[in-house]
Amino acid sequence: MRTLVVSCPDWPVTATGRPPLEPTAVVAGQHVVAASPAARRAGVRPGQRRRQAQSCCPELVVLPRDLGQEARAFEPLVAALEAFGALVAVGEPGWMGIATRGPARYFGGEASLAEAVAAAVASVLPVPGAPLHVGVADGPFAATLAASRGAVVQPGGTAAFLAPFPIEALGVPELADVLRRLGITTLGRLAALDEAVVAARFGAAGARAHRLASGREEGPLAVAHPPRELAVGREFDPPLESLDALGFAARALAEGFCGRLAAAGLSCTLLELEVRVAGRRPVARRWASEGAWSAALVAERLRWQLEALATAPGAAQGEGRGGVAAVRLTPVELGPAQGRQLGLLGRPAACEEQVARVVARVQRLLGPEEVLRPVLVGGRGPGERARLVPAGDPLPSDAGLDAPWPGQVPPLSPAVVPLVPPAVELLDSRGEAVRVDGRGQLSAPPATLSAAGRHPAPVLAWAGPWPVDERWWDAAARRRRARLQVLLPGGEAHLLALEGGRWWVEGSYD
């Protein structure tokens, strides 16, 4: 696809409003991410440490990076490109592109289109005279390199245009380093190799690099479609006080909301419900769902909240009391609609929607805190990994298994975790208690494990220990523990924890 790319080098500096003739650098994490032309002439380069950049240019103005400011400052440039009648693909602030088919015909060719785009975008730059490059080629990758040269590459000439560029132009430093050590220093040399050989040696990353170097893009330009208004709302005059009227209104709003999402090919997993009761300030609540919200489930949640707010006593606090005056449903988290998976003979494979509706009704009767669901969160011990949250509430901020937890119990996790860990005695062959020293070493190999009401059992095998010193900087919350896995006769296995001089059973394996 013929593509026009607009590139603003060192956009983080341009977004700050600093003139190009002033030596300026934007840093993040004590490293330079962008530098003005004046700073570059003084030897400042992206990737340098802050002190090294200041030693190259003592008068350097150092500013922290503000991604929000960069995005806001780039929006007028995107609007200027949208005026040319094409959908705009926006990457990071400082890069955007459009397909030239259509606009190029209107402006009499791609060269004329590039000149018109450059003039229009330059007129809205936050700093007059800031660096701005425009290029046209076959695909976004080639067009980005063409923009660095201010070139309009003719159709079919992309491979020849890319050939002299250094291999680092691929933007994959690890791959470029290996290729350069093999003597493949330019994109042309990489394109001359057999694609199957490159794919066999370097995998998917190498195959993609070979296609880019050969001027063959992977797919069409990913454009950003204009945002759609997916929220639905309604005002009631006079305010609704009847529960039947509230139920009817909830159903109509829910069907309209889900219908609008379905028409856009989207599904919602996090929904915000805002309700305004006459005489009070609006109240907003967010509801999460494991799957996509359906009209019936949205109506159930909506009616529940409408009834709770409409009947809540507020006059005694001077807030005023009245019916529901306005309602608004807003999708917070969206995803593509996946449709519905059917089982044998066209029947639904599961009844998640019915279960969710039943849960919502029970919560309406008993309260949201009375219907809970388990969620896996971060933690070191098995008892810390599970947390109960109200059904329908958003997941906790620490939910998931990706966060690093030094000292975490290795897999597999125990099948049974007692709410109150029972105390046990772990003894060595001499009948003395097994201890763990400051270096994480056992005083002696464990020999027997005994618990209240049970005969001592021999320890057939063990693993560990895994010492953990938690929150050592907080004297009140500090905990020092060591965990040990033991295997007993009959396949019985437990996870033990030593804390405060006593051993406890923290979990049992099935």
Of 291, 298, 275, 272, the residue nearest 357 (C-alpha): 298
Three-state SS annotation for 2-40:
EEEEEECCCHHHHCCCCCCCCCEEEEECCEEEEECHHHH
Q: In the CATH hierarchy, which top-level class contains the domain 2-149?
A: alpha beta
Looking at the DSSP assignment, which residues form a beta bridge with residue 62? 25
Of 171, 174, 209, 204, the residue nearest 189 (C-alpha): 209
Give me the half-sphere count of Cα atoms (radius 13 Å) on the Cβ side of residue 94. 18
pLDDT at 236 over 60: yes
Is the model more confident about 470 or about 22?
Answer: 22
- pLDDT band (50, 70, 90) for residue 86: low
Cβ count near 480 (within 10 Å): 14
If you count them, how many residues does the chain have? Answer: 510
The C-alpha atoms of residue 131 and residue 115 are separated, in whole angstroms, by: 15
Is the model more confident about 452 or about 211?
Answer: 211
For position 75, what pLDDT does the model report? 83
Structure tokens at 332: 């917070």
- pLDDT band (50, 70, 90) for residue 360: low
pLDDT in tens, 7-52: 988 889 888 888 888 899 999 878 898 888 888 888 988 888 888 9
For position 72, what pLDDT does the model report? 81
The C-alpha atoms of residue 301 and residue 289 are separated, in whole angstroms, by: 11
pLDDT in tens, 306-350: 666 655 554 334 444 567 788 888 887 776 665 554 444 444 444
| Residue 71 DSSP symbol | H
Q: In the CATH hierarchy, which top-level class contains the domain 232-312+321-337+350-364?
A: alpha beta
Residue matched to tokens 């975490």: 408
Using a pLDDT cut of 90, give the percent of the chain over it: 3
Whether residue 255 contacts residue 324, with contact meaning beta carbons closer than 8 Å, is answered with no
What are the sequence ranges of the domains in the chain? Answer: 2-149, 163-213, 232-312+321-337+350-364, 371-406, 423-509
For position 436, what pLDDT does the model report? 87
The CATH number of domain 163-213, selected from 1.10.3210.10, 1.10.150.20, 3.40.720.10, 3.60.150.10: 1.10.150.20
pTM over 0.75: no
Residue type for 350, please?
A
For position 119, what pLDDT does the model report? 92
Structure tokens at 311: 């009947």
Per-residue pLDDT, averaged over 244-262, amounts to 78
For position 316, what pLDDT does the model report? 36
Would you say the CATH fold of 163-213 matches that of 2-149? Answer: no
pLDDT at 228 over 70: no
The C-alpha atoms of residue 403 and residue 462 are separated, in whole angstroms, by: 27
**DSSP of 271-301, one letter per residue?**
EEEEEEETTS--EEEEEE-SSPPPHHHHHHH
The most distant pair of C-alpha atoms in the chain lies apart, rounded to whole Å, by 95
